[in-house]
């Protein structure tokens, strides 16, 4: 009987591995067609700088703003083919371009699906033909939700923008610029100091103090079934069929932004069910019953201050390494496509319910689910089989692969190394959950601040 079960497990694991190979290969290939969000992040920062200008003290302007933000935006957009720009960026380029040699081509309005954008382009065309032409003030009213476009149109057509672009708004944008520029710098400095202190301690003692870890009584075949069978085949391939269908049934009258957020939120919930269900039955196979009070994954939440301190420390220490890796990649690779599409949704969303759903997904659901799978189950078993260093490395590689993003592969691998190290040095899964949550939360906060 056991022999037949073993053969069945081997067959299922083998099929799951083959499916996983093709799913991940296709996912990584598809990520190459997704643009990098770094360009949009850079542009949003320049937009905020432009809106903040009136509130920035003169003695700080040279420190915070080197060149004219609008000119910078126009130059960066000019380096990309017009057809490859988003509709909003196409419009920004047309409005901000004051070069008289560039005319608004007749076909430009046809490039826009957004009727308000199309109306602006038509007015720009009339303005180019007749310098004295000025559109109706109602045109400005269409862009109250997009402060930068509102400001840009006001400058181009000499509209009075004081109704929306106020001193209060400029001060708010000034505070955003301070936060966007100084918070990362502060975390890098603190993280670097912690890294140096830890390295000094390790060199002095000539050893790393790993805490005892307790892997589940499972083998590598069980891990193949969990990752390939549960996480990929059932979680990434089968579950979305149910989650997407569910959302489409109830979201017919909802906005596109809210529908996208619901698909991500419920997609994550449905994706988590199969692998967690497999872990449940795997534990039950050797425990005979699930004991709820037993800490199977070594969460060790209490005392909570220790969990938070170790997670926060790990978060600060990994920042310099991830940013260094990202900087090297930027120097070596010009166009890094493949950003997580969720980042673009957060950056451009104007729906606050959508924001709450995305915040819950990125800072609560994702860290708990991914840490249970990768650092709660997989890492201890790999460390038992291959040793701690190799265990951390392999689990980090699988963690990076699972995100299906070529552009983020190496930074995610570096983050995975940090999460695995924090998990085994602290002896707590809770510390890596908190670290993961802080990392995602920092990314989310940065994107939130960049909205105009």
Report the distance separating Cα 123 and Cα 134, nearest Å. Answer: 8
pTM: predicted TM-score of the whole model, two decimal places: 0.88
Please report which residue ranges of 206-334 form alpha helices under DSSP H.
220-224, 239-250, 256-287, 304-332
Angle at 313 between CA 309 and CA 317, to 5 degrees: 175
Per-residue pLDDT of the chain (452 residues; tens, 9 = 90+): 344 567 888 999 999 999 999 999 998 888 877 766 777 788 888 989 889 888 888 888 777 787 888 888 888 888 888 777 888 888 888 888 765 444 555 556 667 788 888 888 888 888 877 777 888 878 888 888 888 898 998 888 888 888 888 889 899 999 998 888 888 889 999 999 999 999 999 898 888 889 999 999 999 999 999 999 999 999 999 998 888 888 888 877 777 778 888 888 898 999 999 999 999 999 988 888 888 788 889 998 888 999 999 999 999 999 999 989 988 887 776 555 555 666 667 666 667 788 888 889 999 999 999 999 999 999 999 999 999 999 999 999 999 999 988 888 899 999 999 999 999 999 999 999 999 999 999 988 888 888 76
- Report the Cα–Cα distance between both ends of the chain, in Å, rounded: 64
| pLDDT tens-digit map of 322-348 | 989 988 887 776 555 555 666 667 666
Peptide bond into 303 cis (omega under 30): yes
The tens digit of pLDDT for each residue in 397-437 reads 999 999 988 888 899 999 999 999 999 999 999 999 999 99
């Amino acid at each position: 009987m056991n022999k037949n079960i073993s053969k069945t497990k081997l067959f299922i694991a083998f099929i799951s591995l083959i499916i996983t190979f093709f799913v991940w290969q296709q996912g990584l290939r598809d990520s190459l067609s997704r643009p990098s969000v770094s360009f949009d992040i850079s542009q949003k920062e320049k937009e905020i700088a432009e809106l903040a200008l009136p509130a920035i003290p003169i003695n700080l302007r040279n420190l915070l703003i080197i060149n004219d933000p609008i000119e910078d935006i126009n130059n960066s957009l000019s380096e990309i083919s017009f057809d490859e720009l988003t509709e909003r960026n196409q419009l920004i380029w047309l409005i901000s371009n004051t070069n008289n040699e560039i005319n608004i081509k007749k076909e430009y309005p046809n490039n826009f699906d957004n009727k308000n954008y199309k109306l602006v382009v038509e007015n720009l065309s009339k303005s180019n033909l007749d310098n004295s032409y000025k559109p109706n003030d109602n045109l400005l009213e269409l862009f109250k939700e997009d402060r930068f476009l509102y400001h840009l149109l006001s400058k181009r057509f000499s509209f009075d923008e004081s109704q929306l672009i106020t001193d209060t708004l400029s001060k708010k944008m000034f505070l955003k610029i301070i936060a966007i520029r100084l918070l990362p710098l502060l975390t890098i400095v603190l993280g670097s100091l912690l890294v140096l202190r830890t390295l000094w301690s390790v060199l002095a003692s000539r050893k790393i103090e790993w805490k005892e870890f307790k892997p589940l009584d499972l083998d590598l075949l069980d891990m193949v079934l969990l990752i390939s069978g549960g996480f990929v085949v059932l979680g990434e391939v089968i579950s979305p069929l149910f989650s997407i269908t569910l959302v489409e049934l109830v979201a017919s009258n909802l906005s596109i932004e809210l529908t996208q957020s619901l698909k991500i939120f419920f997609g994550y919930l449905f994706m988590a069910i199969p692998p967690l269900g497999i872990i449940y039955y795997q534990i039950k196979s050797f425990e005979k019953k699930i004991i709820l009070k037993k800490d199977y994954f070594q969460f060790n939440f209490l005392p909570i201050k220790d969990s938070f301190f170790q997670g926060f420390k790990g978060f600060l220490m990994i920042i310099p390494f991830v940013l260094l890796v990202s900087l090297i990649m930027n120097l070596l690779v010009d166009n890094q496509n493949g950003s997580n599409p969720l980042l673009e949704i957060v950056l451009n969303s104007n729906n606050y319910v959508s924001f709450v759903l995305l915040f819950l997904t990125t800072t609560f659901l994702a860290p708990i689910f991914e840490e249970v799978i990768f650092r709660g189950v997989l890492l201890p078993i790999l460390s038992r089989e291959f040793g701690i260093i190799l265990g951390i490395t392999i689990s980090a590689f699988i963690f990076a692969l699972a995100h299906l993003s070529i552009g983020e592969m190496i930074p995610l691998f570096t983050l995975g190394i940090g999460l695995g190290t924090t998990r085994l040095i602290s002896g707590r899964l809770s510390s890596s959950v908190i670290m993961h949550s802080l990392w995602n939360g920092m990314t989310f906060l940065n994107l939130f601040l960049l909205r105009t």
